[in-house]
Amino acid sequence: MTLGAWCFDNGDKSSQYWIPQGVAISRTAQLDGVVLSWYHRHKSGTDWVTDGSRVTVGARPKVDAKGAYQPVTLAVPTVTAAGKLSFQEVSPANSPAGAVAAKGVDEAKQHQGGVALAGNFLYTADTSGLRVYDVRRTYRVATGQNILGVGDDGRFYAHNEKYALFQTGMFRPENAGACPAWDVVPSARNKDLCFSTVTYDPTTSPASLLSAEYKTEGGVSSAKPMRVVRWPLNADGSLKADASGRVTSTTVFGTNLTHVQGAAGYHGGTGDTLYYGTSNGGSPGGIYSDRDGDGNAPFHVVGPIGGESLAFDPYSGGDRIWGITERPGQRMLYWIYRKELQKPGMP
């Protein structure tokens, strides 16, 4: 396992309030870099409450070079008094057209357990489904106020960050049953699907998303394993939906591994390989590779402490699997060559 970078030491490295969860690697003309998803929380009595989220965007880390990333506030648009979506009226200097009701926008209060960047679209996992953000609708906004919405001066603010990205869509499972508790087995193999993380897989044709479930002991059985589901994409990165807006999965993988925080996939000429990152509290977790559902004997290496999501990186010098860790003071990007996550001699 190779250390890619420590998180920015501007408070993010040890913050109890901003927690990194998802990682996406992009090698496109649009973005040649890294996207991380974060959720924000505050203490309410003895409980932590999620009250917002963001992504950070930056270049991939380089050896012996300092890096940086740009925070982008995630937001959910509501409707103005004039019946318009307020994010169409965002401007750093001009007042929006018409009176704004309820600030025109809501906080994205999701865990954002995983993130995937595919073409023009960014996807995040929020346990009960997938949220969609169109990166072409990233807005430069005013700074100077720690609010989300239109201030008294008629300008739009996003918690004093320079950019805001608005949710443009949402997908939910069609069959009955919400995601059950982590230690509860789903009611059927094709129901109660959880979206604990999501990642982009560029190795399939067409490219696809993979969603995976977080389950603890008692939450899976041999007949009802933890599921990793492949969702097809169009060439522009949008989910491939029929005329009614329904997206149908192409493949479902299963494993009895528990505490899976991240998943990634590789589709080659000899079949599919799934990569899983598991957590183990304050002790090192594990990273597993499972060739074509050989869940009885997956290849295993020791993983980091506090590991979260994974992302596949089709690198010319050797494909990599990237990951992010979440524990305060120990937050880092890391990567492992794909060839080192499988039995010797396998392609």
Residue 229 is part of which domain span?
A: 2-341
> What would the two tokens of residue 89 be?
């009226």
Kindly state whether residue 310 falls inside one of the protein's structural domains: yes
Where do we find the tokens 């901003």? 18
Output DSSP code: residue 233.
B
pLDDT at 176: 73
DSSP lists the bridge partners of residue 128 as: none
pLDDT at 81: 60
Q: pLDDT averaged over the chain?
A: 88
Residue 236, SS3 per DSSP: coil
Q: Give pLDDT tens digits for 100-134.
A: 334 568 899 999 999 999 999 999 999 999 999 99
Kindly state whether residue 61 falls inside one of the protein's structural domains: yes
Kindly state whether residue 346 falls inside one of the protein's structural domains: no
Least confident of 23-27, 86-90, 231-235: 86-90
Kindly state whether residue 125 falls inside one of the protein's structural domains: yes
Q: How many domains does the chain have?
A: 1
pLDDT at 150: 81
- The separation between CA 133 and the C-alpha centre of its own chain, rounded to angstroms, equals 12
Instruction: Yes or no: say if 38 and 20 are a contact pair by the CB < 8 Å rule.
Output: yes
The CB density around residue 30, as the number of other CB atoms within 10 Å, is 12
Kindly state whether residue 13 falls inside one of the protein's structural domains: yes
What separation in angstroms does the CA of 96 have from each of 78, 86, 135, 154? 14, 8, 21, 7
Q: Give pLDDT tens digits for 161-196.
A: 999 998 989 999 988 778 999 999 999 999 999 999
Q: What is the DSSP string of 210-226?
A: EEE----TTS--SSS-E
Instruction: Yes or no: say if 69 and 92 are a contact pair by the CB < 8 Å rule.
Output: no
DSSP lists the bridge partners of residue 39 as: 19, 53
Q: What is the DSSP string of 35-85?
A: EEEEEEEEEETTEEEEEEEEEEEEEPP-TT----EEEEEEEEE-B-TTS-B
What separation in angstroms does the CA of 198 have from each of 79, 206, 252, 265, 318? 29, 17, 14, 11, 23
Kindly state whether residue 283 falls inside one of the protein's structural domains: yes
Report the C-alpha gap between 165 and 68 in whole angstroms: 19
pLDDT at 102: 40
Q: Give pLDDT tens digits for 256-268.
A: 999 999 999 999 8
- The separation between CA 216 and the C-alpha centre of its own chain, rounded to angstroms, equals 20
pLDDT at 91: 42
Output DSSP code: residue 142.
B
Burial class (CB in 10 A: 0-12, 13-18, 19+), 81: exposed
Kindly state whether residue 347 falls inside one of the protein's structural domains: no
- Helical spans, DSSP H, in the chain: none
Residue 83 pLDDT exceeds 70: no
Percent of the chain topping pLDDT 90:
68
pLDDT band at 5 (very low <50, low <70, confident <90, very high): confident
Instruction: Yes or no: say if 347 and 270 are a contact pair by the CB < 8 Å rule.
Output: yes
Q: Give pLDDT tens digits for 242-287.
A: 999 999 999 999 999 999 999 999 998 778 999 999 999 999 999 9
Kindly state whether residue 180 falls inside one of the protein's structural domains: yes
- The residue type found at 143 is T
Q: Does the CA dihedral 9-13-15-20 come out positive or negative? A: positive
Report the C-alpha gap between 62 and 66 in whole angstroms: 8
CATH of the domain at 41: 2.115.10
